[in-house]
């Protein structure tokens, strides 16, 4: 059981979205942010850093967006579905783009392969949560 | 001349969007993030903190989203218009919601009034930049 | 095996500190940041929010410091032991203070109990890593 | 008058440190964080990116540490002098190191020159604030 699940389990008021689904999305976002921060740094140390500029930059954007999304999803007091939904859409965009970019270097760099997979899992988790959230206000 | 403008002025490669417009958006985002971080803390110290829960939470979300958006807009290498555009949309949503929420307390709390104004300016700046970015790929 | 370990395992250059120890510290920091972000929000929804102001604020500081420390520890290129060591000291201070503050409410609020434990584990992990780092340049 | 000053001016409770001094430090920290985020990106687009790896990494660390320090200094509720002081020490270390590193490339890259100056001002501002804070509890 992750710390995100343990914390959401003990949140003292109501949450409109399923707690296990929300905690799982937070875990996946934190993993993706960590993978992207590390992958940017690994790319920076590669001999061919000149051909990894776009990868480094996309990694940095994806790390920042995933960290912020994880924070917003960890707050339930005064919840606003519109902020959460629009941020999840931005996060899906960042994760997809980063999965594609890291995927291009996956056969050469093990760190890009692992990061592309983390971004792929995060795209899926954000999409599932977005679907669940949209279902609550339609 | 702000540091954001000074830095974008000296960026050594091409930027598709107008540099002054981009720098101005970054300045406005950084101001809004600072206003929201401070307003959350001021609300936390008010006697009636119990009626400011939603305001505190929205301030925290808005601060996180604006900080991340300012970082993404400060990077130009390996630029991806889709990430920028979707993040600006999320930021507009967060700023509008926070402007509304702080606006409700503006007559009672000076910090909420100043923060609501900062969020309003940020909504406008993000919309103008989004329009300019969308014009470059249509 | 955590994503932090998987990423540090595939870092393509030398690291002066033991990789497993470093990855373990990053995991503990990310858990602590998540616990603190969530605990601030849980405190904000409690009936007695007025008596949890210091706890909320300390949680927010600890979340920010732990997130930044995790990022710095996830970078190995151009490593500077002085930055890492001084940041670990600041992080130990934040985690200790937050463990104490949450510990005061642990018997009343389950989220504070879990968060205090996460802060305690993080204090220990940062101390162990700091000792290992100091050993490399003495 | 900056937004940081406007917000601290309207903080509704007592602050032990001089408000103008605190606001000025926050302004300087936010400028330094913005300079470092931008400088990392400018370095990444330079032809000789391979010789700017350490500069990029130090910029990223300094941006993260300054952003977190600005947030902590923008909170006054439940203030803890020990957290603030130890974080300011870490920030001084990061800013000094970054000022030195960017200073090495200042004659070749205008963005490094501007960033080195911002880091230098931030070192000074953090030291002055640290001295003022230490005076309050000695």
Q: What is the mean pLDDT of residues A86-107?
A: 98
Phi, psi dihedrals of residue B29, rounded to the nearest 5°: -65, -45
pLDDT at D120 over 90: yes
pTM of the entire structure?
Answer: 0.98
Residue contact B10–D75, C-beta within 8 A? no
Smallest Cβ–Cβ distance between D41 and the set B30, B44, B74 belongs to B74
pLDDT at A91 over 90: yes
> What pLDDT sits at residue C136?
87
Alpha carbons D3 and D107: distance in angstroms, whole number: 33
Residue A122 exposed, middle or buried by CB count within 10 Å (0-12, 13-18, 19+): buried
pLDDT at B138 over 80: no
Q: What is the mean pLDDT of residues A84-108?
A: 98
Residue contact C44–B57, C-beta within 8 A? yes
> What pLDDT sits at residue D124?
98
pLDDT digits (tens, 9 = 90+) for B47-83: 999 999 999 999 999 999 999 999 999 999 999 999 9
Q: How confident is the model at residue D136 (pLDDT cuts 50, 70, 90)?
A: confident
Alpha carbons A21 and A32: distance in angstroms, whole number: 17
Residue contact A42–C3, C-beta within 8 A? no
Q: How confident is the model at residue D92 (pLDDT cuts 50, 70, 90)?
A: very high
> What pLDDT sits at residue C138?
66
B51 touches chain C (CB under 8 A): no
Alpha carbons B58 and B36: distance in angstroms, whole number: 8
The CATH code of the domain at C18-136 is 1.20.1270.360
Residue contact D94–C83, C-beta within 8 A? yes
Q: What is the mean pLDDT of chain A?
A: 97
> What pLDDT sits at residue A138?
66
> What pLDDT sits at residue A1?
85
pLDDT at D138 over 90: no
Handedness of CA A87, C94, D89, D78 (dihedral sign): positive
- Closest listed residue to residue C112, CA positions, set C59, C62, C51: C59
Smallest Cβ–Cβ distance between C3 and the set A6, A31, A75 belongs to A31
ipTM of the complex model: 0.97
Chain D nearest CA to B114, separation (Å): 7
Report CA-CA distances (Å) from A30 to A66, C33, D59.
7, 10, 23
Q: Subunits with at least 3 CB pairs below 8 A relative to chain A?
A: B, C, D
Using DSSP's 3-state secondary structure scheme, residue C16 falls into coil
Q: How confident is the model at residue B44 (pLDDT cuts 50, 70, 90)?
A: very high
pLDDT digits (tens, 9 = 90+) for D8-29: 999 999 999 999 999 999 999 9
pLDDT at A20 over 70: yes
Q: What share of chain C is helix, strand, coil (3-state, %, to 5)?
A: 80, 0, 20
Query: Are the CB atoms for D119 and D96 separated by under 8 Å?
Result: yes
Alpha carbons D37 and D54: distance in angstroms, whole number: 14
D34-54 CB burial, b ≥16 within 10 A, e <16: bbbbbbbbbbbbbeebeebbb
Q: What is the mean pLDDT of chain D?
A: 97
- Closest listed residue to residue C39, CA positions, set C113, C93, C92: C113
Using DSSP's 3-state secondary structure scheme, residue A2 falls into coil
Fold topology of B3-136:
Substrate Binding Domain Of Dnak; Chain:A; Domain 2 (1.20.1270)
Q: Which residues of C touch B44 (CB under 8 A)?
A: 53, 56-57
B50 touches chain C (CB under 8 A): yes
- The tens-digit pLDDT sequence of chain C (138 residues) is 899 999 999 999 999 999 999 999 999 999 999 999 999 999 999 999 999 999 999 999 999 999 999 999 999 999 999 999 999 999 999 999 999 999 999 999 999 999 999 999 999 999 999 999 999 876
What is the CATH class of A17-136? mainly alpha
C7 touches chain A (CB under 8 A): yes
> What pLDDT sits at residue C137?
76
> How many CB atoms sit inside 10 A of residue A11's CB?
21
Helix (H), strand (E), coil (C) string for chain B: CCHHHHHHHCCCCCCCCCHHHHHHHHHHHHHHHHHHHHHHHHHHHCCCHHHCHHHHHHHHHHHHHHHHHHHHHCCCCCCCHHHHHHHHHHHHHHHHHHHHHHHHCCCCCHHHHHHHHHHHHHHHHHHHHHHHHHHHCC
Using DSSP's 3-state secondary structure scheme, residue C108 falls into coil
């Amino acid at each position: 059981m992750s710390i995100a699940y343990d914390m959401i389990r003990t949140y003292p008021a109501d949450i409109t979205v399923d707690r296990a689904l929300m905690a799982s999305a937070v875990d996946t976002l934190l993993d993706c942010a960590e993978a992207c921060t590390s992958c940017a740094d690994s790319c920076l140390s590669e001999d061919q850093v000149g051909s990894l500029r776009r990868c480094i930059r996309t990694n940095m954007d994806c790390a920042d967006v995933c960290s912020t999304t994880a924070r917003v999803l960890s707050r339930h007091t005064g919840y606003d579905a519109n902020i959460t939904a629009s941020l999840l859409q931005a996060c899906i965009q960042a994760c997809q783009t980063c999965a594609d970019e890291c995927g291009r270097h996956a056969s050469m760099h093990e760190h890009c392969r692992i990061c592309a997979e983390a971004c792929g899992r995060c795209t899926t988790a954000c999409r599932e949560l977005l679907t669940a959230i949209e279902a609550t206000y339609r």
